[in-house]
Amino acid sequence: MSYQHARGQVYLINYHLMWCPKRRRPILVGRIKHRLEQVIHETAKEMGVEVHDLAVNPDHLHLFVSAYPQLPVHKIVKRFKGRSSHTLCKEFPELLKMPSLWTHSYFVSTAGHVSMKTIQEYIERQSKK
């Protein structure tokens, strides 16, 4: 990972994101997990966000991304959660029994170039659970 360049800008903005299904239900397994991973990558590509790591556990997910400065982190999370909720609930009717797919809350931490490796190792360990 290196510094990004845009017109008049040089930047390196990394976010470690984490959020959970409503009531932390362990539903992110099997076909749902696989489809969620696809939706995350598709959505990131649409937004121009680079996914470095993604770990989907049954009751939460970790996402490590780079974004450009004009894209606020709350809009990144909103798009990921909104698009994935809409797509998964449409494709997996069993999810419609829940009041909503995701909780309203999320965790975000910024990461500089120094701590990037630490975060990636942490996410990799999460995906091996």
pLDDT band of residue 4 (cuts 50, 70, 90) is confident
We report the CATH number of the domain holding residue 63 as 3.30.70.1290
Told to judge if 3 belongs to the known catalytic residues of this protein, a careful annotator would answer: no
Average pLDDT, the chain: 91
Please tell me the total count of domains within the chain: 1
Q: Find the catalytic residue in 3, 15, 68, 122.
A: 122
pLDDT of residue 114: 55
What's the CA gap between 61 and 41, in Å, rounded?
13
C-alpha separations of 55 from 19, 49, 75 in Å: 11, 17, 21
Domain that holds residue 62: 4-127
Give the pLDDT confidence of 85-101 residue by residue, as tens digits: 999 999 999 999 999 99
| Higher-scoring residue by pLDDT: 76, 111 | 76
